[in-house]
Amino acid sequence: MKKVLFKTFLLLSIIVFSSCSGNDEETNPDSSFKNEIKMTINGREVTFNQVVVGENDYHLFETMGGAIKLTGTIDNSTNEVISISILKDKVGTDSLAEIEYIKDGERYHYNTWLPTWVTDATTCTDNPSNIVFVTATNDGSSASGSFTGILSKCNKENGNETLVDSFDISEATFNVKY
């Protein structure tokens, strides 16, 4: 009789403890939310539907409190990539650190904090990139905002600058949680 009671008690204890264990699966209250960067580039609507959020550890940004870096791809393809670095905890128009857009291996770069002679030989001075950028949310767990403007790339040889290409970016938005 003692063995039956012991086994019954043991079985009930196992059932009680296993039913009260925590849920190992992470639950997302808003499962429809997706990290993404959307924009229109030269009239073509583009959605970067795979966005990774990390740190931009460039030393200049560290002196300003650090920057988060949003790197977006389209279905994880490296044919078209955008990276947006935003100063941590900054909102408004002074929050953008830099944008880098890579299309078919060509790099287009915009940095608000460095003069054009510091960035690289592809930065245009006669036809400069110009981005208007507004961060609405930037609280350490999410970031959102919008931007518009032009990204240009130039070749510089013998003191002459030639515009290689430029992209007109409009209706651009980003919305991420991390």
Residue range 20-33: mean pLDDT, rounded: 55
Residue 135 burial by CB count (10 A; 0-12/13-18/19+): exposed, middle or buried? buried
Tokens 């019954």 appear where? 8
Q: What pTM, to 2 d.p., does this model score? A: 0.75
pLDDT in tens, 104-131: 988 888 887 655 444 455 667 767 788 9
DSSP 3-state assignment of 43? coil
Give the CA count within 13 Å in the CB-facing half-sphere of 114.
16
Under a CB-based contact definition with an 8 Å cutoff, are residues 68 and 88 in contact? Answer: yes
Strand bridging mode 160-177 / 50-56: unpaired
